[in-house]
């Protein structure tokens, strides 16, 4: 068995609640229709934030959220993570991100044990020992 991490961003905006499974190296967040994660609010910049995947030493990865576009200007209203204004922040499980009034997201890192794939013809039949016939002859 090994651990399998699932990165999830749950966004709540003027259009309701949306769950985004994160696995790409970069995501743009904002009200621009071309953003990967679109936020519906007049209080959010067109390119409000960027999520960047950072590789770890163990083959796993984490996400960093950065205010504004990667090579552009910061957002107009800024970015709050857990109530603190940040320019960039390495996300941890259950971090709360505020993009503007009533526009927020929660980051979840779900680690679960995953079984390694078994061959399709793998047989899990269990035969009680008392039913075994040793086949030994005296």
Contact, 54 vs 29, CB < 8 A? no
What pLDDT is stored for residue 73 in this prediction?
87
- Residue of 112 and 11 predicted with greater confidence: 11
List of residues 6+ apart from 30 with CB closer than 8 A: 38, 39, 44, 45, 46, 47, 48, 49, 75
- Residue 60 has what pLDDT? 86
Ordered by start, the domain boundaries in the chain are: 2-116
How far apart CA 78 and CA 10 sit, in angstroms, is 19
Bridge-based pairing state of the strands 103-114 and 95-100: antiparallel
Q: Rounded distance, CA 43 to CA 32, Å?
A: 12
Query: Residue 123: its pLDDT value, please?
Result: 57
pLDDT for 91-121, tens place per residue?
999 999 999 999 999 999 987 554 554 555 5
Task: Write out the two tokens for 27.
Answer: 């995501």
What is the structure's pLDDT at 41? 92
**pLDDT tens, 13-57?**
989 999 999 999 999 999 999 999 999 999 999 999 999 999 987
What's the whole-model pTM score?
0.76
Note whether 21 and 52 are within 8 A (CB). no
35, 8 contact by CB (below 8 A): no
Q: Are strands 26-30 and 49-55 parallel, antiparallel or unpaired?
A: antiparallel
Label residue 71 by pLDDT band (50, 70, 90).
Answer: confident
pLDDT higher than 60, residue 138: no
Tell me the two tokens of residue 124: 């899990």
| CATH match for 2-116 among 3.30.300.30, 2.60.200.20, 3.40.50.620, 1.10.1740.10 | 2.60.200.20
> Does the structure show a pLDDT above 60 at 137?
no
Q: What is the pLDDT of residue 110?
A: 82
Q: Quote the pLDDT of residue 3.
A: 45
């Amino acid at each position: 068995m090994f651990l399998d991490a699932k990165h999830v961003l749950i966004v709540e905006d003027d259009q309701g609640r949306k769950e985004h499974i994160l696995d790409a190296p970069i995501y743009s967040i904002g009200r621009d229709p071309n953003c990967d994660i679109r936020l519906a609010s007049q209080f959010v910049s067109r390119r409000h934030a960027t999520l960047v995947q950072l590789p770890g030493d163990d083959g796993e990865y984490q996400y960093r959220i950065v205010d504004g576009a990667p090579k552009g200007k910061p957002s107009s209203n800024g970015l709050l993570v857990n109530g603190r204004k940040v320019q960039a922040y390495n996300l941890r499980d259950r971090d709360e991100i505020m993009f503007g009034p009533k526009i927020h997201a929660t980051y979840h890192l779900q680690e679960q044990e995953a079984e390694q794939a078994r061959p399709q013809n793998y047989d899990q039949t269990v035969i009680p020992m008392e039913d075994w016939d040793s086949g030994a002859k005296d």
